[in-house]
Amino acid sequence: MLVLVAPGQGAQTPGFLTPWLDLPGVEDRLRAWSDAIGLDLVHYGTKADADEIRDTAVAQPLLVASALISARQLFPAADDLARQVGAAAGHSVGELAAAALTGVLTDEAALTLVRKRGQAMAEAAAVTETGMSALLGGEPEVVLPHLEKLGLTPANVNGAGQIVAAGTAEQLAALAEDKPEGTRKVVPLKVAGAFHTAHMAPAVSALEAAVGELEAADPHTRYVSNKDGQVVSDGQDVVRRLVGQVANPVRWDLCMETFTALGATAFVELAPGGTLVGLAKRAMRGVPTLALKTPADLDAARSLIAEHGAPAE
């Protein structure tokens, strides 16, 4: 059973969309989406520097567009994806891509919503200087109380020995000086705020208004939610979860547990892939994985899909 996932913020790098524009129709599609959401995805994906694409309002639409572009190369029609993918999910903003790929939202609706999401989260992040750091290693029963002591939130519980802490700059500086016992390293992330924490409450209100008239269909493929790792079969519930998740922790550990319970036999991460494959290799041992980084990876992905692409019964 094939699992298809979309990465979250921090996966972007300068110029990462450049090789994808060589594929037929990709630039035209990106320019049409750019016009629809008022953001030049081609410029930011090919010419912008690291600081420009670190901007939350830019990074989020860029990542969703990249995931959709790479997925459409593998599954040109929705029927192809529904027939071959057993479960789909996204990490944080990647959930918007997963919602489009499973038919809950159209591509255009997902990009319009993620544009508003990015802007709202950027505005919320500007109120206080906040950020996120990944803790590598350490046991949750040790790490979580330590974060609470420092006033930090476990914003991403990623499994495979990784928890991402979020909070103010001062709190993160204290963490760097006083990391939990057993933690090998504390790595600051290339994000512009304390996402998935109470600092994002204003963004939740903005998104609630944005989805008021949004049409949502029930997913045609199992959609696994960041909230609790559960399979969600109601499209409106998916949208409600997308809104609330902005200010609540990402439980990617539970998502991977669900993939395993469903019988996952292969794991493909859409562009710009790598982070989620790294987690899966540690938490889903023995399951073949593939990260789509450039179009050069498409043939290998197609081979994996041909071998594993049938939903579990």
Residue whose C-alpha is closest to residue 191's, from 257, 235, 277, 131: 131
Q: Which residues pair with 2 in a beta bridge?
A: 266
**Catalytic position from the list 92, 199, 225, 308:** 92
In order of 160, 255, 291, the CA distances from 278 in angstroms are 9, 15, 9
| Nearest-angstrom CA–CA distance, 122 and 148 | 25
Q: Which three-class secondary structure state does DSSP give residue 115?
A: helix
Task: Please tell me the distance from the alpha carbon of residue 122 to that of residue 117, in angstroms, as a whole number.
Answer: 8
Is 196 in the active site? Answer: yes
Catalytic member of 91, 146, 196, 308 = 196
199 is catalytic: no
Residues 107 and 32: their CA atoms lie apart, in Å, by 11
CA–CA separation, 22 and 19 (whole Å)? 6
Residues with a known catalytic role: 92, 196
